[in-house]
Structure 1
Amino acid sequence: MVEQRIREVFAEAGAEGVLHAVPVGGAPDTAEVAVGADEPVVIASIFKVLLVLEFARQVAAGQLDPRERVRVTAADRLGGWGTAGCVDDIELSLRDLAYFALSVSDNSAADLLLDRVGLDTVQLLAKELGLTRTRIVGGPREVLELMLAEVGARNEAEFAQRYPSLPDERKRRMGVLDPQRTNSATPREITWLLRLVWRDEAGPPQACAQVRELMARQVFRHRLVSGFPDEVTVAAKTGTLPGLHMEAGVVRYPDGGRYAVSVFARTRELTASRTAVDSAIGATARIAVDFLRSQGL
């Protein structure tokens, strides 16, 4: 049974996982592979897909100029990739913030973009798209501030000193790992969002196209991509927190077959890097898609 095989792959990697996979178009909505697809999950940086979609919709509506310049200063840096890790102040456009947010999961870029488009509009977009179990409480800065507050740290450096000494059980109780206290959804709702984007049903066609194009430019190739042959293209977004490893995207075969897949894995070890788990995300996605294709979908 395909669902059992998926669970076994996660177990072999030392993880528990949930997954949802569906054809993007042309198949009945009941065609799916579902393993815990309706369980609430922390979505971490996968939230940025919804954020950039709202940005692209506002650009298409003439509400924002994508060329508007934004300065990223020391106060905006949250650590990580892209502008988030720069030493000096830089200036770039709103559309380049969107590019960095999706291509390298730039937290500072996402935070500044969220300030411009509005948290309330992103929340309203989720409701408009029927994502009734998707919870958006804030951007990367809110996540960071929650983590600092929970360990009593004044800044990232102090957090880095205190976090390793915390008991594992206290680490697991942190709000950023709790779907009820941070940005969250279900695997099924994430694939629904992707289907809407790929069908041009999540907003104006040009807005959906922009999201697809930016997701296709993601530089991280160690999760979903690892499960598929070179001729299969993958447009996706990763998300990572201690003990949580995830990715959601659309895989496209040369014959035109397209499949939306969302995979969320949780490990007992509270680390951000687990090669075996990353490979399991790709392997389970491949198992699910192979099954759908075997059914002629």
Structure 2
Amino acid sequence: MAGPNWTVPGLDAAWCAAPVLADSLSGRLVEQPVSPASVLKLPIALAAEAAIAAGDVDGMARVTLRPEHRTSGPVGMSLMADPVEMSVRDLVVPMLTISDNVATDALLKVVGVDRINSFTTALGLPLTAVTGDLAMTLDGVARDCGFSGYPQLAAHDPAVDGPPSESDLRAAIYMSAALDPGRGWRTTPAEMVALLRSVWRDEAAAPDVCARVRSLLGRQLTRNRIASGFGPGWAVAAKSGGLLGVVRNEVGVITAPDGESFAVAIFTRRQPDATPDPARTDAAIGRLARELVESLRRAR
């Protein structure tokens, strides 16, 4: 089933959708590698929770996150002035609910990139991979733009500081390694739908691990993407992702009032000459999610 057409000027998109408990599928470019951004915090959370459940990682171990070592980000612990201490298992909470970059990099350090990639490979997701932590990713973007690190890029104001101009920065960011799924973090729409279905079926890990991840996804604070397409009575558990105005994504499971659930993964990429419009992109993601679910329900 091909599903809806994408008709948003300036935005490219790839998506996949499927019922959690049935085999029909709707999608476009479902096997195309895409830049997931924070969507990959979902498999990071699963791998971390599975390692804790297996006794390989101490979930109660305390982690101190000092300001000088914290990863940049628009929300959460990156904004705090003082050291923060929490348990390893509690790091999963801000990572999934507010997409906290500091918590993510702390978990990547504790669990290890290799273990996370081995986890996704074992689940049959060979095209899903984390290539490093977020601090390295952001600094890599900055270097591709001619800066020594991400703080320098974030502080640059072309109107005050001169070149590179805003348009030059957009072009450099668009072409950066971090936003190239051949070199940076990557996945495919089909693999994210497969992962979501396995979490909702208790197949991705032990049932208690899957249940905890489902619960946290249901508490994500971002509600203006997939969730915007659904009204009262519908439940949405999701993980959003976006990076530097180029990619804007979300994956999640939508449960209808009658209890039927659908896994949806939508990835968008702004074309190089298009002006970022986050609100329009979010609304388009919500509309597309609704159309995909309605199409799948009609095809039953």
> Shared fold by TM > 0.5?
yes
Inter-CA distance 48–272: structure 2 relative to 1 (3 Å threshold): farther
1:181 to 178, 183, 199: 183
Kindly indicate whether the alpha-carbon contact (under 8 Å) linking 2:217 and 2:239 is maintained by their aligned counterparts in 1.
yes
Which whole-Å CA distance do the structure 2 matches of 1:104 and 1:168 have between them? 26
> What is residue 258 of structure 2 aligned with on the other side?
255
> What is residue 88 of structure 2 aligned with on the other side?
94
Instruction: Structure 2: give runs of 5+ residues left out of the alignment.
Output: 157-163
Q: Give per-residue Cα distances to partners, 1:215-235, cap 9 Å, x unaligned.
A: 111001110000011211111
Inter-CA distance 151–168: structure 2 relative to 1 (3 Å threshold): closer
Which whole-Å CA distance do the structure 2 matches of 1:233 and 1:244 have between them? 25
1:23 to 11, 19, 22: 19
Q: Give per-residue Cα distances to partners, 1:195-253, cap 9 Å, x unaligned.
A: 11111101111111111111111001110000011211111000101221100000011
Which whole-Å CA distance do the structure 1 matches of 2:2 and 2:198 have between them? 26
Inter-CA distance 271–219: structure 2 relative to 1 (3 Å threshold): farther
Kindly indicate whether the alpha-carbon contact (under 8 Å) linking 1:126 and 1:132 is maintained by their aligned counterparts in 2.
yes
Instruction: Structure 1: give runs of 5+ residues left out of the alignment.
Output: none
1:33 to 12, 21, 26: 26
The answer to whether the aligner puts 1:287 opposite 2:278 as a matched pair is no
Secondary structure at the counterpart of residue 145 of structure 1: helix
2:231 to 229, 248, 263: 229
- Measure how far apart 1:176 and its partner are: 1.6
Kindly indicate whether the alpha-carbon contact (under 8 Å) linking 2:144 and 2:173 is maintained by their aligned counterparts in 1.
no
Which whole-Å CA distance do the structure 2 matches of 1:159 and 1:270 have between them? 21
1:212 to 201, 211, 214: 214
Q: Which moved more, 1:167-176 or 1:36-45?
A: 167-176
Secondary structure at the counterpart of residue 127 of structure 2: coil
Q: 2:5 is aligned with what amino acid?
A: I
- Measure how far apart 1:152 and its partner are: 3.1
Secondary structure at the counterpart of residue 137 of structure 1: coil
Q: Which moved more, 1:247-256 or 1:269-278?
A: 269-278
Kindly indicate whether the alpha-carbon contact (under 8 Å) linking 1:78 and 1:107 is maintained by their aligned counterparts in 2.
yes
Q: Give per-residue Cα distances to partners, 1:128-179, cap 9 Å, x unaligned.
A: 0000122321221221121122123233332121573625433321112111
Inter-CA distance 76–271: structure 2 relative to 1 (3 Å threshold): farther
Kindly indicate whether the alpha-carbon contact (under 8 Å) linking 1:77 and 1:86 is maintained by their aligned counterparts in 2.
no
Inter-CA distance 165–37: structure 2 relative to 1 (3 Å threshold): closer
TM-score of the two chains, using structure 2 as the length reference: 0.91
> What is residue 168 of structure 2 aligned with on the other side?
166
Identity %: 35
- Measure how far apart 1:265 and its partner are: 1.1
The answer to whether the aligner puts 1:131 opposite 2:122 as a matched pair is no
- Measure how far apart 1:65 and its partner are: 2.6
Q: 1:110 is aligned with what amino acid?
A: T
- Measure how far apart 1:119 and its partner are: 0.8
Which whole-Å CA distance do the structure 1 matches of 2:168 and 2:62 have between them? 41
Which whole-Å CA distance do the structure 1 matches of 2:26 and 2:127 have between them? 19
> What is residue 7 of structure 1 aligned with on the other side?
6
Q: Give per-residue Cα distances to partners, 1:94-135, cap 9 Å, x unaligned.
A: 122100001000001000011001111001011100001223
Which whole-Å CA distance do the structure 2 matches of 1:273 and 1:112 have between them? 31
Kindly indicate whether the alpha-carbon contact (under 8 Å) linking 1:103 and 1:214 is maintained by their aligned counterparts in 2.
yes
Aligned residues: 289
Secondary structure at the counterpart of residue 71 of structure 1: strand
> What is residue 78 of structure 1 aligned with on the other side?
72
Secondary structure at the counterpart of residue 236 of structure 2: strand
> What is residue 198 of structure 2 aligned with on the other side?
196
Kindly indicate whether the alpha-carbon contact (under 8 Å) linking 1:21 and 1:289 is maintained by their aligned counterparts in 2.
yes
Secondary structure at the counterpart of residue 236 of structure 1: strand
Secondary structure at the counterpart of residue 5 of structure 2: helix
Inter-CA distance 57–140: structure 2 relative to 1 (3 Å threshold): same
Which whole-Å CA distance do the structure 2 matches of 1:122 and 1:227 have between them? 32
